[in-house]
A and B are shown apart, each in its own frame.
Chain A
Amino acid sequence: MSAELSIRNLTAGYGAQVVLRDLSLEITEGTLAALIGPNGHGKTTLLRAISGLVPITAGQITLAGTRIDPLRPDAIVASGIVHVPQGDLLFPDMTVLENLRMGSYLPAAARLEKQRLEEVFSLLPKLRDRQQQTASTLSGGERRMVGIGRGLMTSGRILMLDEPSLGLAPIIIDQIYDVIDTLRGSGRTVILVEENAMRAADIADEVHLLDHGSIAWHGKGSEMSGRPELLETYLGS
């Protein structure tokens, strides 16, 4: 298996505040990779750097051998990396359907819009009933589902989910994780950022532990449970 997304010696941050230091990371095609680590150590910043929303000061990011870090955010999306951001970031005054259709904004995705809409509705049936509802009036769980559904409407080969379970009720979290689990077989590569390390390790093929802006440990999801010291050292649990 080849590395689809490869990050080498990445340094990035907000102005003078460096968040990611000399970070290297490889994601294998078709796998579900979890990115775990304590709050404020750069998980979200890493995703934002990959999608071009945070400028990088050193290092490079390559997708299937092609450098993407010099590209603008919209060109990075077109190249196949789709970021489902933390806190949903829906378009509040648009309906659920309009939000989903923004996912297929790019021509490559627009051609498959009808088909993908059916796929999203069968995966997230609740959205079919809520199609005409304005996004700002949805519940937290519904908003999260729209965010994930909007990501699935794209033609992205890599789907980056930033804390999809954050702030949701346990029963909704289970539903979201069921959906993530079905993505594994879809041929897409999934990068899952998760606060709850054990939950992520359970579902992921590979786990990358982010600490102080670089990768402190990586290994199979199953290895994680045999290494309680990792949790104690880095996650304080």
Chain B
Amino acid sequence: MDTILQILASGLTLGAMYAISTAGLALVFGAMNMLNMSHGAILALGGYLSYFAVGGMGLPAPVGVVFAVLVCAAVGVLIYQIVARPMLRSANFETRIFIATIGVGVILESIILETFGPQPKPQPVSMPGSLTLAGVHLPYQNLMILGIAMLLMAALGFALQKTRIGRAIRATAQNRDAAQLMGVPIGYVYALVLAISGGLAAVSGITISSLSSLLPNMGADPMLKAFIICVVAGLGSLPGSVMAALFIGVLEAIVQYVFGVRFSFALLLILVIIVLIGRPQGVFGRVQGVRL
């Protein structure tokens, strides 16, 4: 029983971290059909920025986190202005932006490598200590990650459902032309969505590196998992992505315990294949009509 709870606890922490990085990816894809391949690099950048602000400059941890989030949000806006906007109206936008953001990711990763070097660095933003509840060992850091993820997802969900700009984002995602015809400035929506995604990536990078360490290419694995989760949930479905992230986190923890760490990724890929055979549009996805 204790073991099961322990697996569940670490699985949920894992899932919560996945949820933060997946939500950003899903939001951008949902709103603008853009697979942002630089998401992983932005995530690493966020981790390093917090390392720089807290470890290097000696700022308090919350200030360091806010700093990282703001800079990564600004990077998101820059990606919109410099990369996405010029090709927005072109044919094959999806393919072009996919390739272009791979380039952006390489540039960001090289900047990190050049600035901070290839050696692993510790993430200074973390909470030491743990508590033991009903025989389950719960580090404060894991609890905090879970709490932050819940809070962020709830805030994002609330903003999308209840606020004016949230309605504009959903409208743009569901029908770009119709949103424009209602007076929604879609350029602003796109820039905002990439900013939110960048900020979420920063939080994700900080939390992930706080459980392992900082490396310039640390974003690759979480981004790949985020893609897998997006595909399983149905690309662009935000609530579906969060649920799928938690499910996959727990599944991964179970697989790691029962079969060993080396099988977890292979089993995730098998899961994707099974889902795509049964439901090509993803578990929560909707079959998209032909775009005219």
Contact = CB atoms under 8 A, between A and B. Distances in A.
Given A98-B167, A105-B164, A51 B181 contact: yes
Given A85-B177, A89-B175, A77 B170 contact: no
Given A98-B167, A101-B167, A105-B167, A83 B181 contact: yes
Interface string A26-54: 00000000000000000000000001110
Interface string B134-151: 000000000000000000
A106 B183 contact: yes
Nearest to B89: A55
A176 interface: no
A59 interface: no
B272 interface: no
B174 interface: yes
A91 B185 contact: no
B185 A53 contact: no
Contacts of B25: none
A89 B185 CA distance: 17
A106 B184 CA distance: 8
A225 B14 CA distance: 72
A225 to B, nearest CB: 33
A111 interface: no
A89 B184 contact: no
A83 B177 CA distance: 10
B175 A90 contact: yes
Contacts of B167: 98, 101-102, 105
A78 B183 CA distance: 6
A51 B184 CA distance: 13
Contacts of B170: 91, 93-94
A73 interface: yes
A154 interface: yes
Interface string B274-288: 000000000000100
Of the four ranges (under 10, 10 to 19, 20 to 34, 35 or more), the interface on chain A belongs to 20 to 34
B168 interface: yes
A154 B168 CA distance: 15
Contacts of A106: 182-183
Given A74-B186, A94-B174, A89 B181 contact: yes
Given A93-B170, A94-B170, A105-B167, A74 B184 contact: yes
B174 A77 contact: no
Contacts of A77: 180-183
A72 B286 CA distance: 30
B47 to A, nearest CB: 34
B186 A89 contact: no
Nearest to A151: B181
Given A74-B184, A105-B167, A91 B178 contact: yes
Given A91-B175, A93-B174, A72 B185 contact: yes
A213 interface: no
Most-contacted residue by chain A among B170, B179, B180 (CB, 10 A): B180
Nearest to B167: A102
B171 interface: yes
A150 interface: yes
A99 to B, nearest CB: 9
Given A74-B183, A74-B184, A105-B164, 10 more contacts: A51-B180, A53-B177, A53-B180, A74-B180, A77-B180, A82-B181, A91-B175, A92-B174, A94-B174, A105-B167
18 contacts: A53-B181, A73-B180, A77-B181, A82-B181, A85-B181, A89-B175, A89-B181, A90-B175, A90-B178, A91-B174, A92-B175, A93-B170, A93-B286, A94-B174, A102-B167, A102-B178, A105-B182, A106-B183
Of all A-B residue pairs in the complex, the 8 with the closest CB atoms, nearest first, are A77-B183, A89-B178, A73-B180, A106-B183, A91-B174, A74-B185, A74-B183, A102-B182
